[in-house]
Structure 1
Amino acid sequence: MEELEHTCPHPRTTLTKPAIFARESSCDCRAPHEKLTIAQARRGTPVDRPVRVYADGIFDLFHSGHARALMQAKNLFPNTYLIVGVCSDELTHKFKGFTVMTEFERYEALRHCRYVDEVLRDAPWTLTPEFLEKHKIDFVAHDDIPYSSAGSEDVYKHIKEAGMFVPTQRTEGISTSDLITRIVRDYDVYARRNLQRGYTAKELNVSYINEKKYRLQNQVDRMKEKVRTVEEKSKHFVYRVEEKSADLIQKWEEKSREFIGNFLELFGPDGTWKQVFQERSGRMLSYALSPRGSPCNSPPRELSPQRSPSPPLPPRPLAQRTAIVPKLPQRSVGLHQQHE
């Protein structure tokens, strides 16, 4: 008998392309698909093909909790080929409820997750042995919390009994239900935001009165934002003025200290001005005590070229000259005659 080689697809080695969609014929490998135990898979056997792990879900509003669950499923074994089944809108609306995203949006969200190798569209709600055999699935990965749906207490109960179930851990604090709860809780905020972005009240299923209320609230918020912006600008302007004032005061203090220093150098007790004043006072005092004499070669007073000689007086009459001569006493005349 001819031995057939495995042609199972291998995990992607690049993340530049989205994951492929599963074909209707499922896995084309004709080699016998032997059943594995979890211990064998963790040891890395078989070596000629990857371990085919299946994870299913709704994946509405795809978030980090979904991505972390798929990451755990991808890293269960050394060589894992991860197939993700996504339920259609019809099944989801029938067994769980209305979704935010359509099935095509959910398919595309899964295709662009880095841990996914293949996306199976219109996945069944309950996994049958025929489905597992058709897609040659070795193990099913899901969180270990019993999932009650479609009249069953746990839709994965028969998978667990068959030894094909591998549990993953849920991420606390994030789920699709939590996200929807936030939207419902803050409905007014999101309705106002979408009205402001151009959506109509009909598209948002908002009544006429609520529409007017939301638009008024948006106007009030815009006004508050303008006031807040003006306050921020004013604070920034005041801060800049304070900075410039501080710089001016600092420069003024530096110039003042420089001026005072120069003043003290000039007019202080040991300043330059005191030395100059003392030198001048000394020169003036010495000049007053010992003035300089006249030069020896100065011209005589009567011949000085700087001063002209006085004009001669006119001769007086004889009568005036005799009248001016004083009379000598007689004694003096007698003595004069006697001497003669």
Structure 2
Amino acid sequence: MSSSKKRGLDSDPSLGAMPKFTSSVPIPNGTGSSYGPAPLSHEQAAHYERESCDYNIRISLADAVAGRAPRRVRVYADGIYDMFHSGHARQLEQAKCACPNTYLIVGVCNDELTHRKKGRTVMNESERYEALRHCRYVDEVVTDAPWTLTDKFLEKHKIDFVAHDDIPYSTGAGSAGDVYSVIKARGMFLTTQRTEGISTTDVIARIIKDYDMYVRRNLQRGYTAKELNVSFMKEKKLQFSERYDKIVDKGKQWKDKGKEWIDNWQERSNEFIGNFLELFGRDGRLTTWMKRAISPVTVQDHSDDNVSTSPSPESSPREPRSKRARPSSPDNMCASKKLSFDECSDDEDDF
């Protein structure tokens, strides 16, 4: 941590070597997290709870689980708790609910110890402390927690049991092979189960997998390349990729709209062709109307039912008379005269 003033850290010389972090949230009257954020171990509410505990009364794990403990059971869980997630919350829930009347104390290692033992964290120690204080299962938060638990630390915080998963934690354990080996040997170890599929490492792996996407998103939100530790060439490459993706997305949108237009056009064209054939086709309505218009009327008048249907001489149709063509030109007139003369000659020969 570069500046204690920047993070609002403070220390009280009257209390000796106190943790560097001090909560800015006022602690209400009462103890535990039921009244608000869990107090830090050096604050008044935590100090009152610790002094009210008679640590001379020892509690076995069997009696604690069975609910036969004569006082509150003080369970301790420690860790880094970087990027506090549901896996952390479930582990603390198990520690809280393992025994009736449990007072859950959570220890969090500071940045200096964590970076030296395990590596860099995403959240700083102040952020990790605050994340734990607002978990509903936590009753007290111990800042600057040690990597390996000692008798002095256990007696100071009056810890009855230590909750953690049963997998040996070898990081920083040295030759022992497990930082909880001594606790397990004393019968003070309370086993919890890990939540599969979720861990701080998994969350960071997801971010790294989609690194470019998150960098592009933060650049759009106003972060500079320097703030994101991105080079100038990388920034331009990401900006070009962003523009290219927008063009591709627009192309897909136009493609979808074009397909929709083609489908609508095809549907309407089929409807138009169907209507055209229905009107102008071989058996269409217009053809039927034309046939009816040019065909003779064959419908008889059925109004006179008493009239005989046999033909009479008067009603029988007469044969049409042959009419001579009326001459309309001098040639036709000559031809007509010649025809008359020939007819007369024929009549005279008969006599």
TM-score over 0.5 (shorter chain): yes
* Pairwise CA RMSD: 4.2
Cα deviation digits, residues 58-79 of structure 1 (max 9, x gap): 0111122212211211221122
Alpha-carbon distance change, 225 to 41 in structure 1, aligned in 2, over 3 angstroms: same
Aligned residue in 2 for 1:268? none
The letter for the 2-side match of 1:18 is P
Alpha-carbon distance in structure 1 between the residues aligned to 2:262 and 2:40: 62
Q: How far off is 1:233 after superposition?
A: 4.1
Aligned residue in 2 for 1:132? 154
Alpha-carbon distance in structure 2 between the residues aligned to 1:57 and 1:240: 63
Alpha-carbon distance change, 65 to 242 in structure 1, aligned in 2, over 3 angstroms: farther
TM-score by length of 2: 0.63
Of the three residues 141, 147, 160, the one matched with 2:169 is 147
Aligned residue in 2 for 1:302? none
Cα deviation digits, residues 239-271 of structure 1 (max 9, x gap): 67788899x79xx8xx99xxx9xxxxxxxxxxx
Whether the 8 Å CA contact 1:87–1:125 is kept in 2: the answer is yes
Compare 97-106 and 61-70 and name the one that shifted more: 61-70
- The number of aligned residues is 271
User: Could you say what secondary structure the match of 2:49 adopts?
Assistant: coil
Larger Rg computed on CA atoms: 1
The 5 Å alignment of 1:167-186 reads 167-186=191-210
Alpha-carbon distance in structure 2 between the residues aligned to 1:238 and 1:138: 75
Aligned residue in 2 for 1:95? 117
Cα deviation digits, residues 75-108 of structure 1 (max 9, x gap): 2112222211111112111211111111121122
Alpha-carbon distance in structure 2 between the residues aligned to 1:232 and 1:112: 48
Alpha-carbon distance in structure 2 between the residues aligned to 1:87 and 1:55: 12
Aligned residue in 1 for 2:38? 19
User: Could you say what secondary structure the match of 1:204 adopts?
Assistant: coil
Whether the 8 Å CA contact 2:32–2:39 is kept in 1: the answer is no
Aligned residue in 1 for 2:183? 159
Alpha-carbon distance change, 39 to 197 in structure 1, aligned in 2, over 3 angstroms: same
Aligned residue in 2 for 1:58? 80
Aligned residue in 1 for 2:304? 283
Q: How far off is 1:202 after superposition?
A: 1.0
The 5 Å alignment of 1:274-313 reads 280-283=301-304
Aligned residue in 1 for 2:249? 225
The letter for the 2-side match of 1:280 is D
Aligned residue in 1 for 2:212? 188
Are 1:44 and 2:63 matched, yes or no? no
Whether the 8 Å CA contact 1:196–1:218 is kept in 2: the answer is no
Q: How far off is 1:235 after superposition?
A: 4.9
Q: Which runs of 5+ in 2 are unaligned?
A: 1-29, 284-297, 313-351
Alpha-carbon distance change, 234 to 286 in structure 1, aligned in 2, over 3 angstroms: same
Q: How far off is 1:29 after superposition?
A: 3.0
The letter for the 1-side match of 2:304 is R
Are 1:214 and 2:235 matched, yes or no? no
Alpha-carbon distance in structure 2 between the residues aligned to 1:51 and 1:151: 27
Whether the 8 Å CA contact 1:10–1:50 is kept in 2: the answer is no
Alpha-carbon distance in structure 1 between the residues aligned to 2:40 and 2:268: 66
Alpha-carbon distance in structure 1 between the residues aligned to 2:48 and 2:216: 47
Alpha-carbon distance in structure 1 between the residues aligned to 2:203 and 2:165: 20
Q: How far off is 1:31 after superposition?
A: 4.8
Cα deviation digits, residues 26-65 of structure 1 (max 9, x gap): 734345221111110011122x533111111101111222
Aligned residue in 2 for 1:325? none
Whether the 8 Å CA contact 2:96–2:102 is kept in 1: the answer is yes
Whether the 8 Å CA contact 1:27–1:135 is kept in 2: the answer is no
Compare 20-29 and 95-104 and name the one that shifted more: 20-29
User: Could you say what secondary structure the match of 1:160 adopts?
Assistant: helix
TM-score by length of 1: 0.65
Compare 228-237 and 61-70 and name the one that shifted more: 228-237
User: Could you say what secondary structure the match of 1:216 adopts?
Assistant: helix
Alpha-carbon distance in structure 2 between the residues aligned to 1:241 and 1:80: 72
Whether the 8 Å CA contact 1:84–1:116 is kept in 2: the answer is yes
User: Could you say what secondary structure the match of 1:82 adopts?
Assistant: strand
Whether the 8 Å CA contact 2:39–2:139 is kept in 1: the answer is yes
Cα deviation digits, residues 154-187 of structure 1 (max 9, x gap): 2111111121111111222222122223333443
Aligned residue in 2 for 1:308? none
Q: Which runs of 5+ in 1 are unaligned?
A: 1-7, 261-276, 291-340
The letter for the 1-side match of 2:200 is T
Alpha-carbon distance in structure 2 between the residues aligned to 1:84 and 1:224: 50
Whether the 8 Å CA contact 1:27–1:136 is kept in 2: the answer is no
The letter for the 2-side match of 1:283 is D
Aligned residue in 2 for 1:81? 103
Alpha-carbon distance in structure 1 between the residues aligned to 2:268 and 2:160: 74
Alpha-carbon distance change, 287 to 36 in structure 1, aligned in 2, over 3 angstroms: same
